[in-house]
Amino acid sequence: MEFPIHTGSPPTLSFGDKLVGKTFNPSRDPRVDELKALSAKMIDIVKADYSSRPNTPIQDLLFQDTLGAILHGQMAAVKSITNEH
């Protein structure tokens, strides 16, 4: 298996990119890249709002639950399109 040689500095990843593991796609399926990009964008939008104001314990809980739900949905979607059984 060949891996591309990267020159220069690695790309800057957003919080959402890091959370969904944007750079991990061993199948190199472009649909996986798209699902991860969409999920990362959702996470970044939610995080920007969460970070822009004071939060209550309820908002903290909702933020954490939202991140988990987006991640779960992204992982389920990737599994759905890559499952070979």
Per-residue pLDDT tens over the stretch 4-23: 565 667 679 999 999 999 99
28 domain-assigned: yes
Q: Judge whether 1 lies within some domain.
A: no
Q: Which domain holds residue 52?
A: 15-82
Residue 8 lies in a domain: no
73 in any annotated domain: yes
Mean pLDDT of the 43-51 span:
97
Q: What share of the chain is helix, strand, coil (3-state, %, to 5)?
A: 65, 0, 35
Quick check: 79 pLDDT over 60? yes
Count of structural domains within the chain: 1
* Selection from 47, 41, 48 nearest residue 22 by Cα: 41
Give Cα separations from 25 to 46, 54, 78, 82 (angstroms). 24, 36, 10, 11
Q: What is the pTM of this model?
A: 0.84
In a domain, 68, yes or no: yes
Only one residue has tokens 């061993």, namely: 26
